[in-house]
Amino acid sequence: MKISTLLASLLLTGVPLMAGEPAPLAPAPQKSPWDFSTSLYLWGMGIEGSVGVLGVQSGSGAADLNLGFDDVLSKLEFAYMGTFELRRGRWSVTADLIYAQLGAEVTGRGPFRIGAECDLKQFIGNFRLNYRLVDTERAAFDVFAGARVNWIDVGLELKGPRGRRINLSAEKDWVDPVIGFRTRVFINDSWFLQASADVGSGSSDLTWQALGLVGYRFNAHCSTGLGYRALGTDYREGGFTYDTTAHGPILGVEWKF
């Protein structure tokens, strides 16, 4: 009787102790050291300059381009514009990709002002390795080095006197090393200013780019921006000439993961 009473007392006193004992906590999920972001944008560019497939010295094969955004849009057959970035700590890699295909009526150079139809397919890839020098809640400043990869396929149909037509075409690809910077500064919790610029030379005599925009952050994962972008390229090789400046407003949306 005494033994059963003692066992019952131990069980009764032990139940509340076991019931009140906290369960072991599950480990908190650790944040990945990698950050990924991507964006899609529309660059309303106009194009100025010249393209040629016979050489500029004769003046017979280069064609002047002076296309506003409305001209480019009406002649645009296909386009893709977007960026991808992978970041870990202060280091990141960026790919900014542009592909466009358009056809345009242009004016030939030379004393006879030969008319021409220009079919242009172009890919521009900006590939960069970035290092963040300033990283605060309100401001970021990166420097970068990388390369601008160009591929272009140009077809010219020259319209000579008496209805004579001459078809010319050329396909070229080249790479230019570039260096530059980019910065983003928040005015308040939502609005920010962003700017970037680069310059380089290699296969081109000169290539450069500049961007400035005003942005709005909806939340930690999504933001949008409106600004202006310009990209210049002066490339000459053999009888091929591509000396243009593309510039115009830019509107984009960015997602962070």
User: The domain that contains 126 carries what CATH number?
Assistant: 2.40.128.90
What pLDDT score does 69 carry? 67
Report which of 202, 175, 177, 183 is spatially closest to residue 143, judged by C-alpha positions.
Answer: 183
The pTM is what? 0.76
**Structural contact between residues 178 and 198, judged by C-beta atoms closer than 8 angstroms:** yes
Residue 10 domain flag: no
Question: What is the number of H-type helices and E-type strands within the chain?
Answer: 2, 12
Total domains, the chain: 1
Residue 79's Cα: distance from chain center in Å?
A: 13
What pLDDT score does 73 carry? 67
Residue 16 domain flag: no
- Return the structure tokens found at 14: 């032990």
Contacts of 61 (CB under 8 A, 6+ apart): 52, 53, 54, 55, 108, 156, 158, 168, 239
Residue 124 domain flag: yes
What pLDDT score does 19 carry? 43
- Pick out the chain residues at pLDDT < 70: 1-29, 53-65, 67-75, 104-117, 156-168
Q: What's the distance, Cα to Cα, between the start and end of the chain in Å?
A: 68
Tell me which DSSP letter residue 208 carries. E
What pLDDT score does 17 carry? 36
What pLDDT score does 71 carry? 65
Residue 223 domain flag: yes
175, burial (CB in 10 Å: exposed 0-12, middle 13-18, buried 19+): middle
The span from the CA of 9 to the CA of 102, in Å, is 90
What pLDDT score does 60 carry? 44
Residue 5 domain flag: no
**Structural contact between residues 230 and 246, judged by C-beta atoms closer than 8 angstroms:** yes
Query: CB neighbours (10 Å) of residue 151?
Result: 15
Residue 104's Cα: distance from chain center in Å?
A: 25
The range of the structural domain enclosing residue 248 comes to 32-256
Tell me which DSSP letter residue 163 carries. G
Residue 26 domain flag: no
What pLDDT score does 56 carry? 40
